[in-house]
Amino acid sequence: MQESNYITRIRRRKAFWNNVVRFIIQLFVWTGAAVLYYFAFSIFFDTPIEYRLKHSTDRLRSEYEMLTERYDSLQRVMENVVERDRNVFRILFEADPYDFEEENAANRWNFYEQLLSQSTIELQKQFARHLSETERSITQLQQSYDRMVEAIDSCSYRNAIPAIQPVINKQLTLLTTSYGMRINPFQKILRSHQGVDYAIPEGSRVFATADGVVKEVARRNSTSGQTIVIDHGGGYETVYAHLGKINVVRGQKVRRGDIIALSGNSGLSLAPHLHYEVRCNGMRVDPIHYFFMELSPDEYQRMMRIAQSGMQSFD
């Protein structure tokens, strides 16, 4: 009897563990089936969140493509405008415009490459050296400035020195031809251009660049057209040529900033412009060096670059 009970318990235990094993196997099977079903479903079907994300990405991609097309279109328009501007420049000045941005970009890249090739110690030494040079330059500049202030204060004819531009040129783009050897528009040869040319519309105001007395007023039809010469004293004279209307007479006193004439296209002139000269002790000098009351150092450098890019004068 006891042996029979023992066998019964053994069978029950086996049946129990068999059921447990069977349950665990079924659990793994159903879990695996559920995982496979999820992956299969996710491959062929999207959840609502995934659907929204995908469609939002589609919208972004569509907007990006539209923006790219607009950018390409604007880029083509800009390239066309730049090329047309270069062609106009070539026709007017018979020279290719100088690309300052390309040169500056190349110089910056070369400078950055040199910095990347140096070690930290070398960079520290270079920085210390440049800092010392800058401090010395600042000290020398301050001393020079102090000497210049003393000289100006002691100068009785400082208001007689040409120190502004003869026209309104806040954007610094009106000065098209500088002092030096330039191509004459009529003879098509290099000739000495003894002043600067401002490309301005007829009727633009022309200002006296310093205090002085009107020395000459030429209204005759000469190569320079209607011209004004102002004697500022101290050896300085200024010349304003190819004018359209003259508002002063010979012997009249003028002050810096007075409107002495209106620009024009008189005389032997390629287009409406003002030819402006500065004479110091009878010698013609570069007028750009005499705009110091208007221009900062950066603006002075920019004007020099703009003026040097034009190889043909207007007269």
Structure-token pair, residue 140? 């020398």
Per-residue pLDDT, averaged over 17-32, amounts to 75
| Nearest alpha-carbon partner for 310 in 139, 131, 185 | 185
Per-residue pLDDT, averaged over 24-45, amounts to 71
69/48: higher pLDDT = 69
If you average pLDDT over each of 10-19, 61-70, 99-108, which comes out highest?
61-70
For the chain, the average pLDDT equals 79
90 band by pLDDT with thresholds 50, 70 and 90: low
Per-residue pLDDT, averaged over 18-35, amounts to 75
Per-residue pLDDT at 138: 83
| Nearest alpha-carbon partner for 244 in 273, 215, 270, 268 | 273
Structure-token pair, residue 150? 């003393």
Per-residue pLDDT at 41: 62
Per-residue pLDDT at 245: 92
Per-residue pLDDT at 73: 74
Question: Which CATH number does the domain 160-308 belong to among 3.30.230.70, 2.70.70.10, 3.90.1560.10, 3.40.640.10?
Answer: 2.70.70.10
How many C-beta atoms surround the C-beta of residue 294 within 10 A?
Answer: 15
How many C-beta atoms surround the C-beta of residue 133 within 10 A?
Answer: 10
Per-residue pLDDT, averaged over 18-22, amounts to 72
Dihedral sign, Cα of residue 251, residue 255, residue 260, residue 265? positive
If you average pLDDT over each of 85-89, 268-272, 309-313, which comes out highest?
268-272
Tell me how far apart the alpha carbons of residues 293 and 167 are, in angstroms, rounded to a whole number.
14
184-223: pLDDT as tens digits = 777 777 788 889 999 899 999 999 999 999 999 987 767 8
Per-residue pLDDT at 279: 93
Tell me how far apart the alpha carbons of residues 193 and 183 are, in angstroms, rounded to a whole number.
9
306/179: higher pLDDT = 179
Q: Contact at 8 Å (CB) between 281 and 201?
A: no
199/150: higher pLDDT = 199
**Span between the terminal Cα atoms of the chain, in Å:** 138
Q: Contact at 8 Å (CB) between 171 and 149?
A: no
Per-residue pLDDT, averaged over 294-300, amounts to 85
- Point out the least confidently predicted range of 34-38, 241-245, 264-268: 34-38
Chain Cα centroid distance, residue 243 = 32
Q: Contact at 8 Å (CB) between 191 and 280?
A: no
Q: Where are the domains of the chain?
A: 160-308
Per-residue pLDDT at 238: 96
